[in-house]
Amino acid sequence: MSDFGRGTHQRRLLGVVRALLDGEQLDRRELGRRLQARLATADRYLRDIKSTLPIAVTREGRTRRYALDLSGVNRKPTLAEAIAASFGAGFAGVFQGTRYRADLQELREHIIRSLHEQKQSHFQHIGRKLIVLSQQAELLDGRDEDFDTVLDCVLRQRVLLGRYQRFTGREEHLRLKPYSIVIAGGHLYVVAPNATGDLHPFRFVRFREVEASDESFIYPKVRSYDPSALFKDSFGVFLNLPVARVRLRFEKRWSPFLLTHRWHHSQRASEGPNGGIVISLKVRACPELERWVLSFGDEVEVLAPSELRLRVAQRARAMAANYR
């Protein structure tokens, strides 16, 4: 096609876009007439336009009409969206070392600019007004491509191949069907069935190599995999431990703190002996729970279960031995 012919065609195509912007509804025959093109060519341009612009399709008998869908164009962000973007940017530190950190912060800045244009200047310093403190973060420097691979496998339901390092340092090759990416305690986890079929949270930073395979998998139905139900009895991310009724007695001075904090939805408080307070939980007695109990030092006592009481006592004696 000559430069003159190409320019003429581009003007016709821009005329079609202008008609859509003006609110006109076009069918494929009208589009072909305006482009002075065959119907097959008009169909190809329709596909290109639909992939670029938000197009609404309506039917009138056997005829399809195409119009620009303006419902989401130039819509200003709501207060709830601004707050969500601000707190979302607060988690940017979890992705320190990757472009996702900058992307989350840029999203917040974009919304602030939009709100500022609406003369809502009170959002100008929202980055300092709404804060998420997360002292823990992964060491993700240079892991952009790896995270993209894992994210792609989760979203597109592709089998993930990886070389993974266990806590002990032992490495193994995994073939996983990744169901979810979870952020817990400032760390990233990939939830997937392990070799025995049990769901397990694999720590992202322990993947030494990752690769997306060509094999896809069917995402499980809600009755088979529901993250909210899966972690309902978890105090952290551990899943392979039995649920127990945990009872802890705290010294009296902790009462105001304990009565105004909630660590788990099953948490209940009652008055204990000598004016103390007893906290009851229905959770997995996991290492995260042990560390939390130990953080209160000698001002807490495990009343139940006996297995947890024994483990905490052993840890306490081992800690005391370090300071003799």
pLDDT of residue 213: 95
Q: How many CB atoms lie within 10 A of CB 259?
A: 11
pLDDT of residue 48: 74
Question: How far apart are the C-alpha atoms of 100 and 105, rounded to whole Å?
Answer: 9
Quick check: 212 and 152 in contact, CB under 8 A? Answer: yes
Among candidate residues 49, 68, 87, the one where a domain is terminated: 68
User: Which range is most confident: 35-49, 59-73, 130-144, 170-184?
Assistant: 170-184
pLDDT of residue 123: 65
Largest CA distance in the chain: 94
Q: Tell me the mean pLDDT in the region 212-220.
A: 96
pLDDT of residue 79: 73
99-117 vs 79-90: helix crossing angle, rounded to 10:
150
Q: How many CB atoms lie within 10 A of CB 161?
A: 17
Among candidate residues 42, 68, 94, the one where a domain is terminated: 68
Res. 220 pLDDT band, cuts 50 70 90: very high
pLDDT of residue 29: 83
Tell me, yes or no, whether 99 and 62 share the same domain. no
Residue 27 lies in a domain: yes
Tell me, yes or no, whether 203 and 261 share the same domain. no
Tell me, yes or no, whether 250 and 303 share the same domain. yes
Among candidate residues 19, 46, 68, the one where a domain is terminated: 68
* Of residues 225, 208, 209, 206, the one with CA closest to residue 217: 225
Tell me, yes or no, whether 33 and 64 share the same domain. yes
β-sheet bridge partners, residue 57: 66
Tell me, yes or no, whether 250 and 295 share the same domain. yes
pLDDT of residue 119: 55
* Of residues 238, 232, 254, 233, the one with CA closest to residue 301: 254
Question: How far apart are the C-alpha atoms of 16 and 119, rounded to whole Å?
Answer: 35
Residue 138 lies in a domain: no
pLDDT digits (tens, 9 = 90+) for 228-250: 999 999 998 999 899 999 999 99
Tell me, yes or no, whether 274 and 305 share the same domain. yes
Report the chain's mean pLDDT, rounded to a whole number.
Answer: 84
Residue 178, preceding peptide bond in cis (omega within 30° of 0): no
Residue 140 lies in a domain: no
Tell me, yes or no, whether 265 and 316 share the same domain. yes
For residue 26, the domain's CATH number is 1.10.10
Q: Tell me the mean pLDDT in the region 282-289.
A: 94
Domain count, the chain: 4
Q: Is 170 exposed, middle or buried (0-12, 13-18, 19+ CB in 10 A)?
A: exposed
Q: Tell me the mean pLDDT in the region 82-100.
A: 78
3-21 vs 28-35: helix crossing angle, rounded to 10:
140
For residue 217, the domain's CATH number is 2.30.30
Res. 127 pLDDT band, cuts 50 70 90: low
Among 6-10, 67-71, 161-165, 312-316, where is mean pLDDT lowest? 6-10
pLDDT of residue 74: 58
Residue 207 lies in a domain: yes
pLDDT of residue 3: 45
Tell me, yes or no, whether 53 and 104 share the same domain. no
Range of the domain at 104: 79-129
Residue 213 lies in a domain: yes
Q: Which residues does 212 contact at the CB level (< 8 Å), separation at least 6?
A: 149, 152, 153, 158, 159, 160, 161
Residue 300 lies in a domain: yes
Q: Is 127 exposed, middle or buried (0-12, 13-18, 19+ CB in 10 A)?
A: middle
Among 128-137, 160-169, 196-205, 314-323, where is mean pLDDT lowest? 128-137
pLDDT of residue 4: 42
Res. 118 pLDDT band, cuts 50 70 90: low
Residue 144 lies in a domain: no
Residue 150 lies in a domain: no
